Amino acid sequence: MTTRVIIDPVTRIEGHAKISLYLNDAGEIDDARFHVVEFRGFEKFCEGRPLGEMAGITARVCGICPISHILASAKTGDDIFAVQIPPAAEKLRRMMNLGQITQSHALSFFHLSSPDWLLGYDSDPAGRNVFGLIAAQPELARAGIRLRQFGQEVIELLGGKKIHPAWAVPGGVREPLTEANHAHIRSRLPEALDTTRKGIALFKQYIETHQEEVDNFGSFPTLFLGMVSKDGGLWEHYDGHLRVIDSDGNTLVDGFDPRRYAEIIGEAVEPWSYLKSPYYKPLGYPHGAYRVGPLARLNLCTTIGTPEADAELIEFRQHGKNGVVISSFLYHYARMIEILASLERIGLLLDDPEILSTRVRAGGGINKLEGVGVSEAPRGTLFHHYNVDERGMITKMNMIIATGQNNISMNRTVKQIAQHWIHGVKDARIPEGMLNRVEAGIRAYDPCLSCSTHAAGQMPLKVTLYDANGNVLDEVGRE
Amino acid sequence: MSKIRFASIWLGGCSGCHMSFLDLDEWLIDLAAAVEVVYSPVADIKQFPENVDITLVEGAIANEDHIEIIHQIRKNSKLVVSFGDCAVTGNVTAMRNPLENGAEVVLDRAYKDAVLLRPQVPHEDGIVPPLVDHVVPVHAVIPVDLYIPGCPPPAPRIRAVLQAVVEGKPPEMIGREMLKFG
Ligand code: SF4
């Protein structure tokens, strides 16, 4: 007989989810599933609306990475306008994306996940959160809050608003960067760099004594997919080619135009989740599982292209075989290295005199009836694909969201963690700290579930017990 | 004086309102001294607790789980706040309402497209909550005590409300600074 335990809601993640654990008679974990339970239906209700509205509406897919949607949407618009945007506009869009990577990764690292390592997986759940961190380690909490704030400020100083700025548009951006705002960003950069270096050191120190997590939080071979720069395959976040590699470091796809994504990415649907499961088509489902996001980007790139981040990258790659790091626990580490890379690049952009140019928007109209826009969101590669009619009204929309592409791996991760830590369960009683480890496996991916199901909502965590016939025996909510 | 028991929840929204809450930045440290966070997506308590002083509700009512939890929130909270435009008006989450059979058509578009492998609408009982046909704002289901508009409400506006609550005063929702939508 199988007993099923459901964790509901999964907390400290950005979205609504549950996890099911299936226990056999011996109290061992047979299987585990990660369910996403929200859905809003953007792809349908955007039909019939004008292209120009898409950046503003799709930003509301997600309040954590609205900039990714705004940029992917604006790039899809550039494609439909068939224009090349002014160089300054591209640089400004890049700067905003770097600000977003900084704020989003800082949120994941400091606000959401660090309570697990710094306060402990088994610490009192009532205080195991950012407020508990404020109480326990006020200096660190303050530094993390200020790092996220820096990223949000970059966004606000460019776009006028921290969340959902109406700024990037087909053809470029609405407003240039002012000198005063340029100076403000510059003035706060040193502190942000300092906090990032400390965060990296903190994490490196942690994994020295926690190899068990590195080995069991989603450590398995998969493919990795993401963008690299068109020139030289450097770390890339805004515009590049797709590359796919396997866990041994073999390159399967390179120099691939992201507009052709549908040739290599398929999507499967499972009855138990609103989150679709994308896979690499040539290998089929589920063998074609691939990971995206910080871990993938650091595995895929030749180098990052800035000195401090590249030095960290060399050290990071020592955790892998052939330089490919396969443990999802090290997403956290990769995230901090990406903040470092983002801050270094913001510095370089500030040094570029063209960043203050006021030529930031190309005019254009409906010159093509189909467009694809791709960017690297904090969580991975984001695809927008629109068809429009002659008047620019949307006739079809498809979005492939970063988090979804990790779905197969997130499912494997919860199973791996559960099978490693949970044994000999009697009466479906699983210690809270063990359940928290299972959730922490999901947190490592920093999933953004409002995005991935184009949904609304939060991620719950409830553990439900089922018998072999699927009858609910018990539900263990977290007290 | 005992601390104010503070909760926040995320229903049919994009999390942007909660992100704006986190944009309180260092003021969060002051807030942590004045309130006890008893339930929130950024904390680990799984059951909505009793005796909550104030609950911020982000998002509209969009599925059956939301209907269940919102009644519990009303029962257990002294002050229920519609937090952001989705909670106040339905906003983007309600954009599917004009479609006939709204829930069905949006699901079919997303999950039954011919290019998908195993096209089907996710439906597992007790796991994947069915969508409601018509998305509604929070006050359509339960009485609401206070509205904070904005998509999302800017952090200074959130701070002004919470500051008043912490001081035991009624928040003043007047003027453009406090009332702008969008
Ligand atoms: S009001 Fe705006 S920011 Fe808040 S949940 Fe709705 S769409 Fe997101």
Per-residue pLDDT tens digits for A73-99? 999 999 999 999 999 999 999 999 999
pLDDT of residue A426: 76
Q: What is the pLDDT of residues B93-132, one digit of tens each?
A: 999 888 877 778 777 877 777 667 777 777 777 777 788 8
pLDDT of residue B28: 93
Confidence band for A69, pLDDT divided at 50, 70 and 90:
very high
> Which ligand 1 atom lies nearest to the CA of residue A164?
3
> Which ligand 1 atom lies nearest to the CA of residue B19?
3
What average pLDDT score do residues A419-441 get? 79
State yes or no: pLDDT of A15 exceeds 70. no
pLDDT of residue A384: 95
The β-bridge relationship of strands B77-83 and B52-58 is parallel
On average, the pLDDT of chain A sits at 88
pLDDT of residue B174: 84
Element (H, E) at A421: helix A407-421
Q: What is the pLDDT of residues A123-144, one digit of tens each?
A: 888 888 888 889 899 999 999 9
State yes or no: pLDDT of A475 exceeds 80. no
State yes or no: pLDDT of A462 exceeds 60. no
State yes or no: pLDDT of B180 exceeds 90. no
**Dihedral over alpha carbons A436, A439, A444, A449 (to 10 degrees):** -150
Q: Where are the beta strands (DSSP E) in chain B?
A: 4-10, 35-39, 52-58, 61-63, 77-83, 131-136, 146-148
Contacts of B14 in chain A (CB under 8 A): 60-63, 66, 450, 456
pLDDT of residue A420: 87
Q: What is the pLDDT of residues A369-422, one digit of tens each?
A: 999 999 999 999 999 999 999 999 999 998 888 888 888 888 888 888 888 888
Q: How many CB pairs under 8 A join A and B?
A: 226
Task: At A420, list the tokens.
Answer: 């490693």
pLDDT of residue A458: 32
Q: Which residues, numbered 56 to 75 in chain B, qualify as contacts with chain A under a Cβ-Cβ cut-off of 8 Å?
A: 59-60, 62-63, 65-66
> Which ligand 1 atom lies nearest to the CA of residue B10?
5
Q: How far apart are CA B95 and CA B102, in angstroms?
A: 9
Question: How far apart, in Å, are the Cα atoms of B2 and each of B29, B33, B67, B137?
Answer: 17, 11, 31, 32
Task: At B174, list the tokens.
Answer: 């007047």
Q: CB B29 to CB A138 under 8 A? A: yes
Q: What is the pLDDT of residues A285-295, one digit of tens each?
A: 889 999 999 99
Nearest CA among B37, B53, B19 for reference residue B167: B53
Q: What is the pLDDT of residues A324-345, one digit of tens each?
A: 999 999 999 999 999 999 999 9
Q: CB B29 to CB A142 under 8 A? A: yes
State yes or no: pLDDT of A454 exceeds 80. no
Q: What is the pLDDT of residues B16-66, one digit of tens each?
A: 999 999 999 999 999 999 999 999 887 777 788 999 999 999 999 998 889
pLDDT of residue A13: 60
Question: How far apart, in Å, are the Cα atoms of A266 and each of A63, A73, A280, A293, A400?
Answer: 27, 21, 6, 18, 10
pLDDT of residue A14: 58
Which among A37, A138, A146 has CB closest to B65? A37
The residue to which tokens 């994308």 are assigned:
A278
Which among B28, B45, B119 has CB closest to A145? B28
Confidence band for A476, pLDDT divided at 50, 70 and 90:
very low
A7: nearest CA in chain B?
B46
The β-bridge relationship of strands A472-477 and A462-466 is antiparallel
Nearest CA among A315, A304, A129, A125 for reference residue A226: A304
State yes or no: pLDDT of A308 exceeds 90. yes
The length of chain A in residues reads 479
Phi/psi of residue A58, nearest 5 degrees: -70, -20
Q: CB A12 to CB B43 under 8 A? A: yes
Nearest CA among A196, A36, A450 for reference residue B18: A450
